[in-house]
Amino acid sequence: MCGSGAGVNGVKFAPGSIVATPAVLEAFRAAGDDPLAYLVRHLSGDWENVDEHDRRKNELSVTQGFRVLSSYRMSNGTRFWIITEADRSITTVPEARDGAHAPAHGGDHAPLQRVPDRAYQGDPRPLPPYYDL
């Protein structure tokens, strides 16, 4: 079931629905990286490229139910974020960008595509390159 799993296999919190923009999925394909590997890191508390302030904020967010933000770089250097909302209803991988700041919430953004529930449940079948809602 999507959204369950907090406390299982090092997972610190439930992701809710998992969505990504087509652009970031294409960036993963171009880099040859597996987005699910980064998702597991995010859910396990490996937030990689966040500063110390954001790292402390994420630790508090896990226990207090605030938004959690991770910042990563793909193997080709493309920077992207993974954001889990405070209510744990959704985890978003927004469009990959070359910029120093995390994406804003609530504005114009590319359409999202849902990652199948089986991706989070550890199904060994390979995922298709795009995930439709």
Mean pLDDT score of the chain, rounded to an integer?
74
Please count the CA atoms within 13 angstroms of the CA of 125 that sit on its side-chain side.
6
Per-residue pLDDT tens for 14-29? Answer: 899 999 988 899 999 9
The answer to whether 94 and 103 are in contact (CB under 8 A) is yes
**Does 130 reside within a domain?**
no
Residue 106 has a pLDDT of 37
Full domain range(s) for residue 77: 17-120
**Does 2 reside within a domain?**
no
Give the Cα separation of 53 and 32 in Å (integer).
31
Give φ, ψ of 126 to 5 degrees. -65, 145
Confidence of residue 6 (pLDDT cuts 50, 70, 90): low
**Does 42 reside within a domain?**
yes
Q: What is the number of structural domains in the chain?
A: 1
**Does 9 reside within a domain?**
no
pTM to 2 decimal places: 0.69
**Does 133 reside within a domain?**
no
